[in-house]
Amino acid sequence: MSETKLTPVERYIVHRGGDINTAFQDLGENILGNTLIRVASWLVILGFATYFLIPGSPTPIQLTYELDLESAPKGSLVITLIAEGELPRNMDLEFPSGVFGDVMNGVNPHSATANVLNPDGSQGNPLAVQRTTDGWRVATKGARRAGFIYQVDLNHVKGWDTDVRRHISTPVAGGLRFAGFEVFLQPVGMEVDDITVTVHNPDDIKVLVPWPALVRSSHRAQLASAQKPIQQANISQGQGYQPAEGVVPQQNQDPGLAPLTRPVPSNLLYHPQNLEDLNNALLICGDLMVVSAQVRETVIQLATDHQWLFPLGEAMDLVRRIARTEMAFFGSAPTSQITVILSANNITGKESFDIYGVHTGSSVLVMMDPKTTWGDLEDQCASVIAHEMFHGWLGEAIPQKDPEMLWFTEGATTWYSARMLTSAGIWSPDHSRAVLQARLERDYKLSPWKTKLSVAEAAADVMAGPGQVRFAYAAGVSACINLDQWLAELTGKSRPLDLVLRHLYENRDGTPLTRLSFEAAVHEATGIDCSVWLDDHVYKKSILPAAIRLI
């Protein structure tokens, strides 16, 4: 790759009016390679890039994506994109940043065709389709409704490839798993006011769509079906599912709540809120085992396509305890459904790792050693589950798009995940302290990056090498603990940073977290102006004091 060629992320930002130099500093293609470094950072980039959308169409258009799972057992998806409205002369369709166009090792989109769609939905005249560097250009002049069909192949990725993004969208037993940001083409420079996704499943393959609700009503859908409104549905025990052997799904504790699950048809339907919501999710189909439980109004699901060395029922209880504790901390859940997917990690490269976590929307994907024992799950994997689940609040409900605040999003999530495990009784206080102390010692105190980069600088470069990323996470933990201690000394309050987090969550309005909004939240929750403290300890190359009171 030449030095002047833009990365997919950079291309995406430029197309939407963003400035690469101010958006990212020294964005590289190095791959994160340690146990608890996660691809969620890559998804943060995706969300940040999507933020640069610019209007290009005089009126919004509607999009419908139809996913055909007929060839899913062969590792392929056939996708039909229907665009309706005042379409431009040429409609550019591109994949958001991700693994794109690698025919040998990754996601391979191909076989694109397009047609005008008649009022009855039948195909009309063909439309000219031209392949571009980033996708396709469709000649849609004069069309009010156009259908674009393409196929996506998820090729088997060799285990020595340590780019975890290539292992997220991949064939699994009996089907496939994919990240939305790798398969959904999007129109460039056009405003979208409604998105519908349908999943066509003619062979009744077991499917898990870990969005908060499989079926969401929209204004258009309600008008079209006034006599028969679309129902909310949860598919964990729906049609075609294979319940885990010997596990009886837990029922609602509150008899006033609706039934935990409902039957689900082969043709599924849901409405993402926007393009970012569309791409910030996973879908998995194949030989799945799924169990579920209810915590207040939220369904907790655990799914896997692998036979583990521990009972799935016990793993479900562990996930439920983590979810219940985090919900109790914030007072509610950010979504009506939280899904955890356990998958075998097949990465075997030199910089391989045993555990890798991904947070997308309301779902958590945990890739771990196929030989993971119950002890491993409690001692190691539980922290990844707690960390990624916590991002449902800090990172999603409190949106993270500004690299300048990644130190807080990742540092606080890492620290609080250990505290949540302690409160849930999964980790003892001594074990939690030992884990945090070891990380701070190895990745912060002894790190050569400590005098080279500020905490904020290190965290902002989310695609840096493993050493810098480990330093950024540990430095973020130390900064959060020190900020909490400083606020406690000034206010006399116990754990004042808890108040700040709850204030951010309770007053969320969808606005991305920035340094200014964070400072405002600290002041509103504690009465303290922390701007000078942040300057001295986070945004300058200063050394933080030793963190105390870890738990």
Instruction: Between 474 and 243, name the one with better pLDDT.
Output: 474
Percent of the chain with pLDDT over 70: 75
Would you say residue 368 has pLDDT above 90?
yes
pLDDT at 210: 58
Instruction: Between 165 and 21, name the one with better pLDDT.
Output: 165
| Highest mean pLDDT pick, 31-40, 106-115, 234-243 | 106-115
Q: What whole-number distance in Å separates Cα of residue 19 and Cα of residue 201? A: 42
Banded pLDDT at 442 (limits 50, 70, 90): very high
Helix (H, G, I), strand (E, B) or coil at 467: helix
Would you say residue 142 has pLDDT above 90?
no
Alpha carbon distances (Å) from 351 to 152, 163, 164, 167: 28, 10, 11, 14
The reported pTM is 0.79
**Of how many residues is the chain composed?**
551
Banded pLDDT at 293 (limits 50, 70, 90): confident
Which of 341, 315, 175, 343 has its CA nearest to residue 246?
A: 315
Instruction: Between 296 and 68, name the one with better pLDDT.
Output: 68
Domains of the chain with bracketed CATH = 61-392 (2.60.40.3650), 397-537 (1.10.390)
Which of 31, 13, 46 has its CA nearest to residue 279?
A: 46
Q: Is the dihedral of CA 530, 534, 535, 536 positive or negative?
A: positive
pLDDT at 275: 85
Q: What whole-number distance in Å separates Cα of residue 209 and Cα of residue 200? A: 13
pLDDT in tens, 54-106: 444 468 999 999 999 999 999 999 999 999 999 999 999 988 765 555 555 66
pLDDT in tens, 29-43: 332 333 333 433 333
Element (H, E) at 194: strand 192-200
Would you say residue 24 has pLDDT above 80?
no
Banded pLDDT at 129 (limits 50, 70, 90): very high
pLDDT in tens, 298-349: 888 899 989 999 999 999 999 999 999 999 999 999 888 888 999 998 887 6
Contact 311, 246 (CB under 8 A): yes
Mean per-residue pLDDT, 270-289: 84
Would you say residue 46 has pLDDT above 80?
no
pLDDT at 409: 96
Mean per-residue pLDDT, 267-275: 75
pLDDT at 470: 92
pLDDT at 353: 66
Average pLDDT, the chain: 79
User: What is the token pair recorded at 415?
Assistant: 């620290």
Instruction: Between 44 and 468, name the one with better pLDDT.
Output: 468
Banded pLDDT at 423 (limits 50, 70, 90): very high
pLDDT at 251: 39
pLDDT at 269: 72
pLDDT at 54: 40
Long-range CB contacts for residues 441-446, cutoff 8 Å, separation at least 24: 442/470, 442/474, 443/470, 443/471, 443/473, 443/474, 444/471, 444/474, 444/475, 444/477, 444/478, 444/544, 445/546
Contact 487, 495 (CB under 8 A): no
Q: What whole-number distance in Å separates Cα of residue 207 and Cα of residue 285? A: 4
Contact 341, 303 (CB under 8 A): yes
Would you say residue 51 has pLDDT above 50?
no
Instruction: Between 546 and 50, name the one with better pLDDT.
Output: 546
